[in-house]
Structure 1
Amino acid sequence: MTPTAVSCATKPELLRSVRAVARSLALPVDTRARLVLAVTAAAEAALAAGEPVTLTWNEDPAADDGAWLLTLAFASPRPSAAAEASRLPLPAASVADGAVVWSLPAKAPGRAADAARTGDARGDADADGAGQDSGATEVRAADVADLEEELRAVVARADALGADHRRLKDELSETNSGVLALYVQLDERDEALRNAHGQTLRELEDALRPSPIKVDGVELAVHYAPAGTDAPTGGDLYDWFVLPDGTVHITIVDALGHGVTSTRSALNVTHAVRTLALEGHDLQSIVGRTDEILLSFDRQTMATVLLARLNPATGELRLANGSHPPALLLRADGTARYLDVRGRGIGFPLPGSDHLLTERMAPGDLLVLYTDGLTESRRDPLEGETRLIEAARKHAIGAIEDIPGAIAEDMHTVILHPDDTLALAVRVSGTDITRG
């Protein structure tokens, strides 16, 4: 079809023309309102400068959906206006050669040309005989109807948006409530899991501890802390029991590695030592014999071992050592000495204790057995041994159950090298031995 063109010199003329074309093509009210705003906004600069604009439209009869093409051409190109076309209320399909173009589907094809021929698209300036200029200012009934319809569409759209907003707020509130409830449930579940996990760890740690023993004349207490909170145990273990002759046997083991995997090796060592001790093997031979036993089924085990035998009736103390840090003996008068015995541990070349060391403990004397995690937390064993003597002196007269933990707390004020830590305290009180 032949394009139809209308020249508009004022904004009211342009408004009437656009509305008439939009109405004749049965455009939806919302689309019509956006088109009116978009066309007048694009033409505003030219009209303000006194430059008329030409509104051209064309229905494409070849289009299956009755598409029509609306072209707004300026009498003199204004690139600035064209550059803003993408941000208009109804974005333009294209901008080229000073023209802003919209392409919209026509629901009533063929009526736009009729509207132009009857003058409805422009609005007849002489319809009421008021003269040529009256068309630019006259408010026609059709314009009022169009404006009311567009306002109703805007209000309806605003109401719909408000309803959608309220619905979304309600849905969001319900979602937030559901999420909050889910967080509460997850937190409760996590708390239950943490409690169950902690209980399991405590039960596992208790299962690894030997049964407490009560011996007249001897006080014993122990403190253990793993290197990390993710593992309840490590390679540091102890064992204590009373032999048939009434002496107290104590085993301290530090197996290579950390975590639960090293616990198995430490358990193998303590069980083998207990078996050999109860069978009556000589204390000095037990380290080497333990290595022989484990060699047949646990060739990967490497561990340091310290064995102590204390006779409560006489105070006689005997020590055998396999590469383990020396025991600390703190006398009641405050003098201290490390009881060093040379030897090699389980899995080492030529394992065994080179000799036995014999001492005699008097009432009030304190013996501290430990693993290297206690003295090497600052990476300097010699400095750690000096600090251990000071800590033992500080806490020696306290309740026996508090001494190992208090010593460990003093030793670990600074930790540069975290490691499993075990501290075991033995104090002689001077009474006769009884089996517990």
Structure 2
Amino acid sequence: MTRETLRTLTALRHTVRSIALGHRLPADDRARLVLSLSEVAAAALGRGRPVTLLSGRETGEDGAHLLTLALRLPHQSTGAQIATDRLPLRARTQPDGTVVWNLPLPAPGSYGQGPSFTGGLPASRPSATPAAAAQHGETDVALLEEELRAALARADALADEHQRLKHELAETNSGVLALYVQLEERDEQLRTAHGRTLRALEDALRPRPLHVQGLELAVHYAPASDDAPTGGDLYDWFTLPDGTVHITVVDAIGHGITSTRTALTVTHAVRTLALEGHPLESIVARTDTILAPFDQNVMATLLLARLDPVEGKLSLANGSHPPALLAHGDGSATYLEVRGRGIGFPLPGSDRVLTTTMEPDDVLLLYTDGLTESRRDPIAGEARLKEALCRHRARPTELIPGLLAEDLLSDVLHQDDTLALVMRRTAN
């Protein structure tokens, strides 16, 4: 390898540029090489300490020709590390502190495809004569201009590539946005169709409106989620052969279609038993007995109410369900407590039948726990419900369930299906 001792940055840059040009390196590689060696040697040369530059050609393991330059710094400690990964042209540091660059040499005939310097280069060691020095200076300026042109060409190419990528990205974003809008529209159409289907299903599950002289009935139902407008809260009403009105309110454990199926199963079983003439006090336990062999997982609470619209006699049976609430004409309200265990619970059945009288203009509220447990405090919920029913009792019957739900569900901490059924006895 060729060895040279250099004492100034100018001499180092001129020598490196001469070596690079002699090996026909492209202008941008040449510029990076000059900048890298200058950066490594600057500190030592600035303190007046010479550096040693070794250069030569080598053959790599793959048979490719390499230009190798090694820079030895004065008083370099063995194993000292230099941040060579941040240089314009990466290098490696040997254990003795020598910094080495290996550059692949261009294939014959490949140089000259871009801008190149062809004016010749004086000897690497600067002459002492003014004319020679001037010639060196002109040569270095010409090489710098060539390297600058190469850098500008690369910068322009990168700018063009950047602009092209920005344009492609804008087109891609525009296409993605259009696709997103289409998907949103499609999703909205699907949600609308899904909602219509489920609302139709919900309407199909409701019993037909019941028109009985001396009674006004109204219902409010809200699912736990708009995505599944059916749930485990269900009601049923019908008139028995003796003219008594029977009402069943069921809250099946769970949400969605599965709980709806459970609630339907329970209401159908209760309706069958009631129409067969079974006593009210036996229906909760008989319903569990009938359903247990078919589905061991059925669990539901239920409240059964029967009212003679002529006499006003009201009977209630309960299976683990929240108590009915009766609002009186004098503005007061009373919870009608009946103990019992629901379907699928241990020892299912109503402990007794509570009997009372509904006076004309009294309002009876049957509901599910989603109405009173929206804030996870059922006791406070029952107090709020009682106050709300007393406040709205004089409003038209068809408005009361919705007004109660609006008051009780203004701040929901626990999402659940909600059912409120109101029955008012009117003067015959």
TM class by shorter chain equals 0.7 to 0.9
- Residue 276 of structure 1: SS of its match in structure 2? helix
Aligned mate of 1:146, from 143, 159, 163: 143
1:34-53 alignment to 2 at 5 Å? 34-53=32-51
Q: Give the drift of 1:400.
A: 1.0
Q: Give the drift of 1:196.
A: 3.1
Gaps of 5+ in 2: 109-119
**Alpha-carbon distance change, 135 to 315 in structure 1, aligned in 2, over 3 angstroms:** same
**Alpha-carbon distance change, 394 to 150 in structure 1, aligned in 2, over 3 angstroms:** same
**Mean alpha-carbon deviation: is it higher for 362-371 or for 91-100?**
91-100
Identify the residue that residue 31 of structure 1 maps to in structure 2. Answer: 29
Give the partner amino acid of 2:104: P
- The Cα offsets for residues 354-409 of structure 1, whole Å up to 9 and x where unpaired, read as 55444333321111222344345566655554443322211101111121222234
Identify the residue that residue 68 of structure 1 maps to in structure 2. Answer: 67
Q: Give the drift of 1:240.
A: 0.8
- Residue 192 of structure 2: SS of its match in structure 1? helix
Identify the residue that residue 294 of structure 1 maps to in structure 2. Answer: 291
**Alpha-carbon distance change, 125 to 199 in structure 1, aligned in 2, over 3 angstroms:** same
2: CA distance between counterparts of 1:318 and 1:383? 26
- Residue 166 of structure 2: SS of its match in structure 1? helix
- Contact 2:82–2:93 (8 Å) recurs in 1: no
**Mean alpha-carbon deviation: is it higher for 333-342 or for 241-250?**
333-342
Normalising by structure 1, what TM-score?
0.81
**Structure showing greater Rg:** 1
- Contact 1:239–1:270 (8 Å) recurs in 2: yes
Aligned mate of 2:127, from 125, 130, 145: 125
**Mean alpha-carbon deviation: is it higher for 372-381 or for 419-428?**
372-381
- Residue 104 of structure 1: SS of its match in structure 2? strand
2: CA distance between counterparts of 1:70 and 1:22? 10
Normalising by structure 2, what TM-score?
0.82
Give the partner amino acid of 2:101: W
Identify the residue that residue 186 of structure 2 maps to in structure 1. Answer: 189
- The Cα offsets for residues 59-106 of structure 1, whole Å up to 9 and x where unpaired, read as 3479833333222334x3467x98354433222243554543222334
Gaps of 5+ in 1: 110-117, 432-436
Give the partner amino acid of 1:4: T
1:293-372 alignment to 2 at 5 Å? 293-348=290-345, 351-353=348-350, 355-372=352-369
Paired residues, what number? 415
2: CA distance between counterparts of 1:56 and 1:209? 95
1: CA distance between counterparts of 2:332 and 2:308? 22
Aligned mate of 1:222, from 204, 219, 222: 219
RMSD of Structure 2 on Structure 1 (CA)? 3.5
- Residue 267 of structure 1: SS of its match in structure 2? helix
1: CA distance between counterparts of 2:368 and 2:226? 18
**Alpha-carbon distance change, 400 to 161 in structure 1, aligned in 2, over 3 angstroms:** same
**Mean alpha-carbon deviation: is it higher for 63-72 or for 169-178?**
63-72
2: CA distance between counterparts of 1:386 and 1:184? 48
- Contact 2:76–2:96 (8 Å) recurs in 1: no
- Contact 2:18–2:121 (8 Å) recurs in 1: no
Identify the residue that residue 252 of structure 1 maps to in structure 2. Answer: 249
**Alpha-carbon distance change, 105 to 298 in structure 1, aligned in 2, over 3 angstroms:** closer
- Contact 1:25–1:108 (8 Å) recurs in 2: no
Identify the residue that residue 113 of structure 2 maps to in structure 1. Answer: none
2: CA distance between counterparts of 1:106 and 1:348? 87
Identify the residue that residue 421 of structure 1 maps to in structure 2. Answer: 418
**Mean alpha-carbon deviation: is it higher for 281-290 or for 364-373?**
281-290
- Residue 251 of structure 2: SS of its match in structure 1? strand
